[in-house]
A = this chain, B = another copy of it.
Amino acid sequence: MARGRPRKTDPEAALQDIVRVFWEKGFEGASLSDLTAASGMAKPGLYAAFGDKQAMYAKALTHYFNGISGSPLADLVNSSDPLRDVLRRYFVSIVETARDPTTPSGCFVVNSLIESGSMPAALVALSREFDRRRRDAFRTRLRAAQQAGELAPGTDADALADFFSSQVLALAVMVRADTEFDAVMRTIDVALSALPGRPAPDRPD
């Protein structure tokens, strides 16, 4: 019925568009006109549905983390596949999401961690909360691997968790910086070589 650009009335669909704008342009870089244009909602409807720019960003980052990040993180924690396979699958999924041509480049959470210098404190805290949850997932998985005998008893599982968790940051920036795909995949291979093998079966106590 409406002439010109159709207006969306479904906040869920509009939120997907808002995620993309903030993921691509950041909190400061995203203008109100970017947000209305992308979402197809006029300013009053946008504000009524999501609140101000800060509230909108918080909802977008949360939607991203629970949606795009949620499934690979659950797999990382819960899969009973060998640790090396689970880690590789997780990193490859991160790279695939970060390189997906239908969405902005990189990782929205990593972008958000970087923009902390020009963001409201509550958004800085939210970004760091999601960063911490990812690190906790790695910690849970590495400790479980150690208990299951996938790592030598003396291995520092938490140090490995810190390291592997930080590879997500490296991979996300590499993709955002348009680094050659081969270099990104080689980085995953070398990172996985830091994984110590399981102890030799006959190793004495």
Contact = CB atoms under 8 A, between A and B. Distances in A.
Interface of A: 23-26, 28-30, 104-106, 110-111, 113-118, 127-128, 131, 135, 156, 158-160, 162-163, 166-167, 169-171, 173-174, 176-179, 183, 186-187, 189-191, 193-194
Contacts of A128: 177-178
A5 B55 CA distance: 37
Contacts of A170: 166-167, 169-170, 173
Most buried by B among A169, A179, A187: A169
A35 to B, nearest CB: 13
Given A117-B105, A118-B25, A159 B173 contact: no
A170 to B, nearest CB: 4
23 contacts: A24-B118, A25-B118, A26-B26, A29-B117, A29-B118, A105-B117, A110-B173, A111-B114, A113-B173, A115-B115, A128-B178, A135-B179, A159-B186, A159-B190, A162-B183, A162-B187, A166-B170, A166-B174, A167-B170, A170-B173, A173-B173, A193-B194, A194-B194
Given A28-B28, A170-B169, A162 B190 contact: yes
A176 B156 CA distance: 25
A30 B115 CA distance: 11
Nearest to A168: B170
B177 A163 contact: no
Contact of A169 (B23, B28, B160, B173): B173
Contacts of A30: 118
B131 A177 contact: yes
